[in-house]
Amino acid sequence: MIIFIEDSLCLYMDLKQYLDKNKIWHRFIEKLETIHTADAARVADVDLNRLTKSLILISDKKELILAIIPGNNRLNISVLERSLNKKLRLVPFNEAEKYSGYLPGATPPVGHKNEMIVFIDKKLLGYETIYGGGGTRDMLIELKIEDVVRLNKAKIENISNESCTTTTQFSLGGG
């Protein structure tokens, strides 16, 4: 357990140093440990629309792709496949750290272990700042969207669809 804490601290420090070196405005937010985006938004009291998912994909040619989408949305892989003209698959949950350098639920929108082709969902451009994983599962980071785009040399496209969040009510009986 101590090794994990030391590793987490190193990841946080690496991310902080990366941002400081690039003179990027940022704010870390401590929270209870979570993995899933909706849980993180709830415990940190941030807008799920502004809390991003950083999803890693791999192409049939072994290229890495990072898709940054709003936390309440689902990735539309076919849009990315058409844009890149490549077949893609999501990296399995237990392999994500190998590519990004961060555990799932901690992956920030910038500063990854490996170079990736980055796509940001166009819906996120409506916000001055967005939130993402802060390098550890008990931390979020707030960044300016313009900095996330610039640091990643990101492509902007509509790459996600809203998740179904409405509840259907059924009426039993006549009426």
- The full set of domain ranges for the chain reads 2-162
In the predicted model, what is the mean pLDDT of the chain? Answer: 88
Evaluate if residue 6 carries a pLDDT over 80: no
Annotation: CATH topology of 2-162: YbaK protein (3.90.960)
Q: Smallest Cα–Cα separation from 161: which of 88, 80, 46, 40?
A: 80
User: Which helix (H) or strand (E) segment is 29 a member of?
Assistant: strand 26-30
Q: Smallest Cα–Cα separation from 37: which of 29, 47, 28?
A: 47
**Quick one: pLDDT at residue 14?**
83
Pairing assessment for the beta strands 117-121 and 88-90 based on DSSP bridges: unpaired
* Rg of the chain on CA atoms, in Å: 17
Question: Cα separation of 89 and 24, whole Å?
Answer: 31
Evaluate if residue 2 carries a pLDDT over 60: no
Question: Cα separation of 143 and 135, whole Å?
Answer: 13
Residue 109, both tokens: 């929108």
pLDDT in tens, 38-50: 999 999 999 999 9
What average pLDDT does the segment 139-144 reach?
97
**Quick one: pLDDT at residue 163?**
78
